[in-house]
Amino acid sequence: MTGNQPNYAEHSENFVKPTARQFALRELHAMAVNPKAWIGMAAVITMLTVMGPFGTIIDMNFSQRLVYWSGICMLTFPVAFGLSVAISVILHDRGLPDAVARTLAGAIAGLPVAAIVWLWNLVSGDIDPATFTGHFPALLRMAGVTVPISAAVSLLFYLVTSNTRAAADVPQATARAEIPFFKRLPVELGRDIISLQAQDHYVRVTTTRGSEMILIRLADAENELGTGLGERVHRSWWVAAAHASRIERTDGRMELVLSNGTSVPVSRSYREAAQALVRSAPGT
């Protein structure tokens, strides 16, 4: 019976530190199935169609602008979003502050966006790419527009989401200070726990700032944390409610995807608890 079961303990590092590519793909999937993302996309396309920036208000009628800006947004958004997420993860792992990592990642993602916009103009024939250039090369002039916009959007998105999380954490700050388990954690690790994973006689504690091995049994750590912050979803895993993103099923196995992209195995006996975590997570 156990011979065909995946050994999550042997691959714990893959769960604790997903690659930037895996994280970006998961974030793209989450965005693709989120109705709010499509509503936002429609709002942006509508705004661009009505305003007609970069000369499109003069060169195109309304229906042409609608097709043009729909194509631009649908082609560039997944590329810019996926690349900026992946690059920001890499930069963050190299010690850059979150705001700096997000801004640089957005700027870098703006480069392929420039190429996509230029090619769209060339293929669609709606606008001659040369009209953007003057005596500068077309791609360089286009990048001069897309890079700062992409960097600004990436930074703005980070600031909005981080402020939202901070506001949500304020009412819990006093209560968290009284939780015994937090006294075991290094100060630099913070208190915003994402997950706990049992490894032999230790527990790997993962927070939004990193991870650390603590000498304690998972059951004891769970008791010290008390109720309300999270739930056990596997004999080796405890997950914070605030960081439970969604449920996925792979080859009949249930996995819980966390806010940092980690996929956590869910035991059959804990499936209801995992589903309850996702339902209670902020923003769901």
200 and 156 inside one domain: no
In a domain, 64, yes or no: yes
User: Is this structure's pTM higher than 0.75?
Assistant: no
Q: Which domain covers residue 201, as residue numbers? A: 179-280
In a domain, 1, yes or no: no
In a domain, 84, yes or no: yes
Q: Cα–Cα distance between 139 and 135 in angstroms, integer?
A: 12
> Of 170, 199, 218, which residue is a domain's last?
170
Which residue stretches of the chain are H helix? 12-16, 20-32, 35-51, 56-59, 62-93, 98-124, 138-169, 173-177, 218-225, 271-280
Question: Model confidence over 224-252: pLDDT tens digits?
Answer: 988 888 999 999 999 998 899 889 988 88
Question: Model confidence over 93-125: pLDDT tens digits?
Answer: 777 887 888 899 999 999 999 989 888 887 776
> Of 123, 144, 170, which residue is a domain's last?
170
The residues that bridge with 19 in the sheet, in sequence order, are none
Q: Cα–Cα distance between 278 and 257 in angstroms, integer?
A: 9
35 and 116 inside one domain: yes
Number of domains in the chain: 2
Is the pLDDT reported for residue 194 higher than 90?
A: yes
Specify the DSSP class assigned to residue 203: E
162 and 251 inside one domain: no
pLDDT score recorded for residue 174: 43
Top pLDDT among 20 and 256 is at: 256
Question: Model confidence over 199-221: pLDDT tens digits?
Answer: 888 999 999 888 889 989 999 99
Phi, psi of 253 (to 5 degrees): -95, 140
In a domain, 55, yes or no: yes
In a domain, 231, yes or no: yes
Is the pLDDT reported for residue 63 higher than 90?
A: yes
94 and 207 inside one domain: no
pLDDT band at residue 136 using 50, 70 and 90 as cut-offs: low
